[in-house]
Structure 1
Amino acid sequence: MVSSNIRGRGVATNAAGRFEQFETVDCDDGWEGDEDLPPLRTEISEEIARSVISYNRSPDLPFDRSINPYRGCEHGCVYCFARPTHAYLGLSAGLDFETRLIARPNAAEVLRKELSSKSYKLATIALGTNTDPYQPIEKSHRITRSCLSVLSEFRHPVGIVTKGALIERDLDILAPMARDGLVRVGISLTTLDADLSRRMEPRAPSPKRRLAMIRRLSEAGVPVRVMTSPVVPGLTDHELENLLEAGRDAGADAASWIMLRLPREVSGLWQEWLRDHEPARAEKIMSKLREMHEGRDYDPRWGHRMRGEGEYAALIAKRFALAVKRLGLATRTPPLRCDLFQIPAQVGDQLALF
């Protein structure tokens, strides 16, 4: 039974981060239950960023740089591969990740300086690769919108990944960028089962709402990729073709997939979720995952971590390939334009008057 004060959260525990020396554990002293505990509220702190563009060298990723306006994510997706990053902050990958969030209010200001640097080399920036840029706190903090405004001003190409319906608010920026070939959006669609989505992704928009987002964006001229990620063996894998078709019918022109990944603390959190929510399927799901990773819960090697290997992984890849071909969905899309980039005139520039 889930404690009453954490209903609506993705996980039920808050084990100390892997770098912490001590851990606190809740225990029942026999005097009273937890039914009177206050709801677990989201706490937001601020971090003054010194840099905002993060670079990577992963051959598994189609981009080499990204921006994340927030640390932690209130959507609370139990399977989120980014949960372990909270350990670097001295926090838990469990409830801390979805309740103790960090906003970077000066992100747009720092981004402007980085893009204006003479040493900056242009390439598409990915927005929201670690945590969702349109999670609920963006409504009040508007950091993603500020960063997007800077990218638009510089005519800089950007790829966005989100589950958040708040992206529709920014169509006034996205639509003109799309007309110039400067933006593409990926919408993650994990399942069409509203109940399963609510349990796995408790504070993210429902599947129906995400399809509406795809439709709204595509109707505004913003190209959208439906991301069937993660595929969960024995739980959502049977939906693969239906997810792709629903995304296509809503207006998506491209598609991708990633297998469920369980790095570090995510494995324990996921298995605890299975015991609480899908006990009859838990053994089968974990068996399939280990089958793809040489007996381990997760294989972090480049070239393997996103898809796994073996007969089952090959079957999912084949089903995906057949489905996108039948549906007319692209798996590769034209690169976003980089030839329009320009550093706007700044206050005080000598040529500003001419």
Structure 2
Amino acid sequence: MKMFHTAASNIPNFPEFVIVTLLDELQVDYYDSNIRRAVPKQDWSNKITEEDPTYWERQTQIGLGAQQTFKGNIEIAKERFNQTGGVHVFQWMVGCEWDDETDKVNGNWQYSYDGEDFIVYDLKTETWIAPVPQAVPTKHKWDNDKADLAYTKNYLTTECRDWLKKYVEFGRSSLMRKDLPSVSLLQKTPSSPLTCHATGFYPDRADLFWKKDEEELHEDVVKGEILPNHDGSFQMSVDLDLSGLKDEDWGRYSCVFHLAGGQEVSKRLDKRDIRTNWKTNDGGFPTGAAAGGVVAALLLLTGCIMGLICLKKPPQGKVETLLVQVSSFGCSSSVISPLPFRHK
């Protein structure tokens, strides 16, 4: 479970403060300083009001309070770094991951300034780490607050886990589903690498690779990251260099998508299935090009957009990760108590 609080200054057309909650890379809720209210982003995230009817109203008040605190944190950071104006971003990321088989829990609580780590909580030593000299005063202050250190540890190991379990139960029908993707072969020009693109799969614990006969290829292959789609599903791609490929060997190659649990989709390399937006010598488009140009363009655009919001690739395996806004959740099993917002 991870939650992102982001305060920004002097960024045109971007809110001064944003809170985003994600559950296994699926957005659960949202708050920003323009709309000034917390809103659910999944139908099942409304289930929490069955136990707590005033939940979203309280989350709105928490967001309003955090907004002022984080605005002050930017000013404090600017003083520490001897800055005046300019564009600046201060971010808090907090959350936990839970393995439902071993019941093991791991937590993360850290702050960043202008894209670099500022101060990080070390759960093993129960102390704060200051990666930059400007954070040393904060480290000393927070390390001496034993009550707050104990609270931070308890939140990451207990309360956060309890909320993660609850969200997994609320969203079980969506989170436990298994969706296979559509797989396409895309190529910009005849000399470009061939892209195998899989989109619409869930969950993100998946692999996409090229193989020759029955052997997976590792040379002449470039694999992309798993990126989220707007509907909560995922996409990924893997490129194959065709420069040394002989015509008679084309049928020996295939692109294979493998979903956790064993389900697979395989697409054999066939020139007739390649979608492209390059023109033939007579000015026309080859087979598959009519749709291919649009698909390729959308692929490029989607990759750019998703690349901006894919902050961290989720862990592989059976660990369920909940990316949640900790200030939004008090992470107790019955009563939600907001986290304290602290000035640096």
TM-score by length of 2: 0.22
- Greater relative CO (CA pairs within 8 A, separation 6+): 2
- Larger-Rg structure: 2
